[in-house]
Amino acid sequence: MYVAEVPPGQQEEERILLVDDNPTNLQVLLQTLSGRCYKLLIAKNGESALRIAAKAKPALVLLDIMMPGMDGYEVCQRMKENPETRNITVIFLSALDDTKDKVRGLETGAVDFISKPFQAEEVIARVQTQLKIHKLEQALSARNRQLEADKARILESMNEGIFGLDRLGMITFANPAASAMTGWSIEQLTGQNLIQLMKGGEDGDVSGPLATIEVSLVNGVSKTVENATFLHSDGSPFPVDFSCTPIMENSSPSGAVVVFRDISEKKRQQHALQKALDELQSQKDQLTHVSRLSTMGEMAAGFAHEVNQPLTAISNYAQVARRMLARLDLADDLGLAEAMEKVNTQARRAGEIIARIRSFVKKPDHVLGSVDPNRLIQDTYKLAEVDARNNHMEIHLEQEEGLPDVKVDPVQIQQVALNLIRNGMEAMRDMDTRSIGVYVRTEKQDNNFVKVSVIDRGHGLADDAEEKLFTPFYTTKADGMGIGLTVCHSIIQSHGGRLTFLRNPEGGTIFEFTLPIAD
């Protein structure tokens, strides 16, 4: 191998391999190309040319065709078959001037053909042109590699999943995010039909959001879809937003790019937000109901005050009428005196009821005191007596004697007991068991609590009562507001007791609440 010297001070540039079995031809080529900053390499046969090309990687080979042993066509063909030398530019030098010889040379991979005898200027011009093309190709190849590397880094760093599709919808590319989100490896995804893959392999017409991909591939239009569903590799679904953008060639779609992202966390956040909004609305509704109840309490107190005055007058007039009858000393064959006595009695009784209502609806400070639990329940019984008569029902008191005092706010505990008694009567109002009535029982539970039980034989509780019974505004009554038991539960808890319920084995419900024994 001969290497021409590069003149001092000049920059070394491209390697050129000269291949010819004729020493005279080689000498002419050396003289023609010397002094032009080329590093010239020489080979006298095909085998030597292949060895030098594989080792030195020249930019260009000037290759004679007619050589003993391995001719130039075979040398060129073998160079193009070798990955290490396939990018070397080959120019044939030959006395063969027939068109078919030139065509054969180009078919084996050569880029140009110089006929012998050649002119030095022609060789120089063609060499310079091909080296310039070679440099541009190298630069373009390097730029393409850089772009591919940049594209790979960008795609790998993206959080969105990306599928490249051909015109039939087959996956030709998938980035790491797509693999991570779906659970399939990139190798498993490549070659799969995306639509069928996300349908779980089911055959049949494509419908729903996935049909958008098919439309994009056929019509060449970009589509964006929200709240679609893709599948994990285990078959489980997950929500996605995705876009499908066609790849256009000659005004026709040749494929598409699908970009998607998993919106599971977004869905969870939306659900949590909606739950919070619903809870806020529920609290606003509760406040509205409580406000209405407060207004009704004030109205009831005013109503009781106004009604109490005429009732007092009726009682007074009845007493005056009795005294007037007594002074007249008339025979009372018609029973007028007895009638006046009954009027007076009922008027006083109505006044007592009104007084109890006023005391009940009044909103006093939460004052705890030592109270006889039996006396407390007896007073509540009197408040419920009117409802019992209206419902043609009886209230039975079963009270353990000698119970210790309890430390409670008597008005609030009366509110709880009255609500439970009325609920029991209402549950039995339209049933054959109405004649049994409601039982109210007091007993000592242990050294710390007295237990009060309200027992009915009504229609019982709903199946979901355990979860919802003490929830605000849960009710099974057509005209109920669903706050009574919630308020009762809150009152008993504030006293340190417990309000619970049992399903009565004989039908109906047993409500129990405990009251702390006073120290």
**Is the pLDDT at 51 greater than 70, yes or no?**
yes
Identify the DSSP state of 229: E
**CA dihedral of residues 147, 149, 154, 157 (deg, nearest 10):** 180
Q: What is the pLDDT of residue 287?
A: 67
d(CA 467, CA 445): 26
The pTM of the full predicted model, rounded to 2 decimals, is 0.41
Of the candidates 179, 159, 181, the one whose C-alpha atom is nearest the C-alpha of residue 171 is 179
Going by pLDDT thresholds of 50, 70 and 90, the confidence category of residue 90 is very high
What is the per-residue burial (b if ≥16 Cβ within 10 Å, else e) of 294-317?
eeeeeeebeebeebbeebeebbee
Pick the CATH number of 158-262 from 2.40.30.10, 3.30.450.20, 3.40.50.300, 3.40.50.1360: 3.30.450.20
Q: Flag the least confident range among 130-144, 213-227, 293-307.
A: 293-307
Mapping DSSP to helix (H, G, I), strand (E, B) and coil, where does residue 505 land? coil
Give the architecture (CATH level 2) of 365-516.
2-Layer Sandwich (3.30)
pLDDT tens across 434-488, in order? 889 999 999 999 999 999 999 999 887 776 665 556 554 445 554 443 446 777 8
Which class in CATH covers the domain with range 15-153?
Answer: alpha beta
What pLDDT does residue 292 have? 61
Q: Are 213 and 195 in contact (CB under 8 A)?
A: yes
The pLDDT of residue 407 is: 93
Say whether pLDDT at 13 is over 80: no
DSSP helix/strand/coil, 400: coil
pLDDT grade, residue 99 (50/70/90)? Answer: confident
Nearest 5°: phi and psi at 358?
Answer: -60, -40
**Is 340 or 242 the better-scoring residue by pLDDT?**
242
What residues have CB less than 8 Å from 502, skipping those under 6 apart?
509, 510, 512
Is pLDDT at 376 greater than 80 in this prediction?
A: yes
Mapped onto helix, strand or coil, the DSSP state of residue 164 is strand
pLDDT per residue over 341-360, tens digit each?
777 777 776 776 666 666 65
One-letter amino acid at 184 equals W
Beta bridge partner(s), residue 46 = none
Angle made by CA atoms 259, 263, 268, in degrees to the nearest 5: 180
Distance of CA 289 to the CA centre of its chain: 33
**Tokens for 406?**
């309890």
Q: How far apart are CA 349 and CA 343, in angstroms?
A: 10
Q: Is the pLDDT of residue 498 over 60?
A: yes
pLDDT band at 1 (very low <50, low <70, confident <90, very high): very low
* Distances 509 to 64, 425, 434, 471, 497 between C-alpha atoms, Å: 111, 11, 14, 18, 20
> What's the Cα-to-Cα distance from 444 to each of 374, 410, 452, rounded to whole Å?
11, 18, 9
Of 266, 258, 274, the C-alpha closest to 238 is 266
- Residue 3's pLDDT band, with cuts at 50, 70 and 90, is very low
Peptide linkage before 410 cis (omega within 30 of 0): no
Average pLDDT over residues 160-187: 91
Question: What's the mean per-residue pLDDT of the chain?
Answer: 82
Radius of gyration of the chain (CA): 52
Residue 481 or 191, more confident: 191
Residue-wise pLDDT for 101-136, tens only, equals: 888 888 898 988 888 888 888 888 888 888 888 888
